[in-house]
Amino acid sequence: MRLKNQVAIVTGAGVGIGKAVALRYAAEGAQVLVAEVDTDSGAATAQTIHDAGGEALFVPTDVAEEAEVRAMVEAALKRYGRIDILFNNAGILIYSKDTCVHELTTEVWERTMAVNLRGPWLCAKYVIPHMLKQQRGCIINLASPTGLRGFPGMTAYSTSKGGITALTRAMAADYSRYHIRVNAIVPGCMDTPMNAARLSDETRRQQRVATTPYGRLGTAEDVAGLAVFLASDEADFCVGGFYAVDGGLMAV
Provide the annotated active-site residues.
Answer: 157
From the list 93, 92, 57, the residue with the least C-alpha distance to 77 is 57
Helix (H, G, I), strand (E, B) or coil at 142: strand
Q: E-strand spans in the chain?
A: 7-11, 31-36, 55-60, 85-88, 137-142, 180-187, 242-245
Overall residue count recorded for the chain in this entry: 252
| DSSP, res 106 | H
Helix H, strand E, coil C: the string for 172-231 is HHHHHHHCEEEEEEEECCECCHHHHHHHCCHHHHHHHHHCCCCCCCECHHHHHHHHHHHH
Pairing of strands 55-60, 31-36: parallel
